[in-house]
A and B are shown apart, each in its own frame.
Chain A
Amino acid sequence: MARVVIRNLNKSYNEVHAVKGVNLEIRDREFMVLVGPSGCGKTTTLRMVAGLESITSGDIVIGETVVNELPPMDRDIAMVFQNYALYPHMSVYDNMAFGLKMRKFARPEIDRRVREAADILGIENLLNRKPRQLSGGQRQRVALGRAIVRHPQVFLFDEPLSNLDAKLRVQMRVELKKIHDRLGTTAIYVTHDQIEAMTLGDRVVVMKDGVVQQVGEPLDLYNEPANRFVAGFLGSPAMNFATVALTDVAGATHALGEGLQLALPPQIGERLRSHIGQQVTLGIRPEDLRVESGEAANGLSFGAVVEVVERLGSEILLDVKVGSGTMVAAVEPTVQAKVRDHLRLALNPERLHFFDCRSEAAI
């Protein structure tokens, strides 16, 4: 068990600068999730921690050791690969025992650890099988088992659930969480799935184009995104964005945009003071919109025309047209709405997000 520190980490392949000045500290026993779209540098970062990719510049520290030049075997890490990477010619038992055999553990100790891990993962009855005789979920367990038996300082996960079907993915996600709670090993987990990031991570790192966008606890990232990218990436359905102009009308700040005319409360107006007279991006999460019967008392509502109604059971997603733009509203399942209905949507001013149009940073 150890903390991992990444200092000013860079990776370039010829002309491509894949990872740009990443700084992270993963605390001891923490479950850290790196999330971002394909090509954002998250997997490259993980592979550099593993020692599978060389570092262009910067430092990686595991425990107290700078591991920049250490080969993977000397870093005391275990990795779970996206395609499991089980040795196809070895039994499940041998797959799990391989790392211990290579490290010259005594036979009884190997046996004890393999059986212990198999017990944790519920795969005792599969120990004599070959990987090709296993289902996707079982293979995933074996891959996890191979990491667990080693009792490493750090677990590295490279999109381990992305090859599983949706139902199994949810189940394995829960189990991963339980296993981490039980073992308490420091973990770095790479995924492009924001739900995995939100549910698994003690903290989450959002990356884009090789740059860390924001680091924080899942709900902090969700509620206070540092920029428009983080805001749009986390949350499903994604945050609605609209360009609005901020104007001062008799001392009160108003946001004017396509089909929007919002009188903002004073405390928010104060925050936006420096942007008066400019265009900014307004962000509203779908669940922060509600259907209002009449005009909202606080002047924070707008008219919308329903285009699509998606009934999910627990909630309804309304795709609505606001001016010439579109938004999604996640509303109570009891709301009666039909296509082409004219509605008024109200919003909570506390839950509004504003982003600078040029820098895209949160205001």
Chain B
Amino acid sequence: MAVSGLATRGAFARAPRRGTASRLLEDERWLAAALLLPTVILLALFIAYPFVEGVWLAVTNATVGVPGKFVGLANFEMLWNDSIFRVAVWNTFVYTAVATVFKLGLGLWLALLLNRNFRGKAFTRAFILLPFIIPTVLSTYAWKWMFDPTFSVINWTLFQLDIIHSRINWLGDPGLALISVIIVNVWRGVPFYAISLLAGLQTINPELQEAAAIDGAPPWQRFWHITWPLLLPVTMVVVLFSVIQTFADFQLVYVLTGGGPANATQLFATYAYQLGVGTGLLSQGAAVSLAMFPFLLIIVVVQLLYIRRVEVH
């Protein structure tokens, strides 16, 4: 007994002393801070810093190579009186609104079709995603080629079908250019809607459709009273993401038209780029970018409030 008692005490004595660090990590507050640190650093470095820098640039008169001095809201005052900026704002709203309506409509229609049972379902679902997977710049170049006044395959087809008799200048005509750009945006965006809404549709119990059918609801009423309300939370999230992306779209317009002809397709992002990088007026470019912020903020707040309301009810 005595021997074993001694041995036990010895074991206690030899237990390693725990360091300050490990004792601190036992405390949840310190542990939480330690675990959050990497994310905080990344966010600070790549999101917060550029944002703050952007805000700072917007209130200076910096140009390429010139650090610039604080000028207050002078840049915004200039934008206020800038007719191109006003065109860009208008275009951005038209671009976002029209493209979103079509993407939602076509995406929902496609999702409802894909939600049915048919041969080759998995293949079709994967295939649908293609426009979304291909790098935007590449697919947009393909579209540019298709819209080319001389080599346009679209014009060729319409011509052969005897629908048109002269070339359509898809990207050169100010009226058509915005429409063309919207078409490409819709083409690229529909798969995202379709697949996301399809995922939403699949969470809806098919028995509800059967119950509604027995309750006497024809297909359109079943969609309106059952499917649509149940899909609404997913739809709102999808639309939210899409609106933000579309509002700030750059690549597509940059490749197709560069904002032209005569600013007919100029958007917030392309104009910011043109001012800031194209002409080197960094501060004015930053001001245009920043001007997007309140609009996006309003859109996000309104939609998030709506999503919450839908979820509560």
Our verdict on whether A and B bind, yes or no, reads yes
The stretch from B65-73, B167-175, B222-230, B286-294 touching chain A is B222-230
User: Contact between A73 and B214 (Cβ–Cβ < 8 Å)?
Assistant: yes
* B14, CB-defined interface residue at 8 Å: no
* A77, CB-defined interface residue at 8 Å: yes
User: Contact between B215 and A98 (Cβ–Cβ < 8 Å)?
Assistant: yes
* B255, CB-defined interface residue at 8 Å: no
User: Contact between A99 and B216 (Cβ–Cβ < 8 Å)?
Assistant: yes
Q: B212: which of A51, A83, A98 is its contact (CB, 8 Å)?
A: A98
B224 CB, min distance to chain A CBs, angstroms: 11
B283 CB, min distance to chain A CBs, angstroms: 50
The stretch from B92-100, B107-115, B202-210 touching chain A is B202-210
User: Contact between B208 and A72 (Cβ–Cβ < 8 Å)?
Assistant: no
* A40, CB-defined interface residue at 8 Å: no
User: Contact between A87 and B208 (Cβ–Cβ < 8 Å)?
Assistant: yes
User: Contact between B225 and A98 (Cβ–Cβ < 8 Å)?
Assistant: yes
Q: A85: which of B208, B218, B221, B230 is its contact (CB, 8 Å)?
A: B208
CA gap between A51 and B229 in the complex, in Å: 25
* A222, CB-defined interface residue at 8 Å: no
Q: B214: which of A78, A83, A88 is its contact (CB, 8 Å)?
A: A78
With A98-B225, A102-B221: A85-B213 Cβ-Cβ less than 8 Å: no
Candidate in A78, A79, A102, A146 with the most chain B CB atoms within 10 angstroms: A102
* B221 neighbours in A (Cβ, 8 Å): 102
User: Contact between B211 and A73 (Cβ–Cβ < 8 Å)?
Assistant: no
Per-residue B-contact encoding for A81-94, CB less than 8 Å = 1, 0 else = 10101011100000
* A50, CB-defined interface residue at 8 Å: yes
B268 CB, min distance to chain A CBs, angstroms: 37
* A102 neighbours in B (Cβ, 8 Å): 212, 215-217, 221
How many chain A residues sit at the interface, stated as a range, is: 20 to 34
Q: Which of B71-109 contact A (CB under 8 A)?
A: none
* A81 neighbours in B (Cβ, 8 Å): 207, 210-211
User: Contact between A72 and B226 (Cβ–Cβ < 8 Å)?
Assistant: no
* A103, CB-defined interface residue at 8 Å: yes
Q: A73: which of B218, B225, B230, B313 is its contact (CB, 8 Å)?
A: B218
CA gap between A73 and B207 in the complex, in Å: 15
User: Contact between B216 and A73 (Cβ–Cβ < 8 Å)?
Assistant: yes
User: Contact between B207 and A83 (Cβ–Cβ < 8 Å)?
Assistant: yes
* A71, CB-defined interface residue at 8 Å: yes
User: Contact between B207 and A146 (Cβ–Cβ < 8 Å)?
Assistant: no
* A72 neighbours in B (Cβ, 8 Å): 210, 213-214
* B216 neighbours in A (Cβ, 8 Å): 73, 99, 102-103
User: Contact between A52 and B210 (Cβ–Cβ < 8 Å)?
Assistant: yes
CA gap between A23 and B218 in the complex, in Å: 31
CA gap between A18 and B46 in the complex, in Å: 61
Q: Which of A310-357 contact B (CB under 8 A)?
A: none
With A73-B216, A102-B221: A89-B210 Cβ-Cβ less than 8 Å: no
CA gap between A87 and B210 in the complex, in Å: 11
Nearest B residue to A98 by beta-carbon distance? Answer: B215
CA gap between A83 and B211 in the complex, in Å: 11
CA gap between A51 and B214 in the complex, in Å: 8
Per-residue B-contact encoding for A285-321, CB less than 8 Å = 1, 0 else = 0000000000000000000000000000000000000
* B207 neighbours in A (Cβ, 8 Å): 81, 83, 85
With A73-B218, A89-B229, A102-B221: A83-B205 Cβ-Cβ less than 8 Å: yes
CA gap between A152 and B312 in the complex, in Å: 34
A128 CB, min distance to chain B CBs, angstroms: 12
Q: Which of A46-103 contact B (CB under 8 A)?
A: 50-52, 71-73, 77-79, 81, 83, 85, 87-89, 98-99, 102-103
User: Contact between B215 and A89 (Cβ–Cβ < 8 Å)?
Assistant: no
Nearest B residue to A89 by beta-carbon distance? Answer: B229
B311 CB, min distance to chain A CBs, angstroms: 11
CA gap between A52 and B208 in the complex, in Å: 12
With A89-B229, A89-B230, A98-B225: A73-B213 Cβ-Cβ less than 8 Å: yes
* B208 neighbours in A (Cβ, 8 Å): 85, 87
Nearest A residue to B225 by beta-carbon distance? Answer: A98
User: Contact between B218 and A79 (Cβ–Cβ < 8 Å)?
Assistant: no
User: Contact between B213 and A71 (Cβ–Cβ < 8 Å)?
Assistant: yes
Per-residue B-contact encoding for A129-162, CB less than 8 Å = 1, 0 else = 0000000000000000010001000000000000
* B215 neighbours in A (Cβ, 8 Å): 73, 98-99, 102, 146, 150
A53 CB, min distance to chain B CBs, angstroms: 10
A-B contact pairs, 12 of them (CB 8 A): A52-B214, A72-B210, A72-B214, A81-B211, A85-B205, A87-B212, A87-B225, A88-B230, A89-B313, A98-B215, A99-B216, A103-B216
Q: Which residues of B contact A (CB under 8 A)?
A: 205, 207-208, 210-218, 221, 225-226, 229-230, 313
Q: Which residues of A contact B (CB under 8 A)?
A: 50-52, 71-73, 77-79, 81, 83, 85, 87-89, 98-99, 102-103, 146, 150
Q: A71-B213, A81-B207, A99-B215 are in contact. List 10 more A-B contacts (CB 8 A).
A: A50-B210, A52-B210, A52-B214, A72-B210, A72-B213, A73-B218, A78-B214, A83-B207, A85-B208, A103-B216
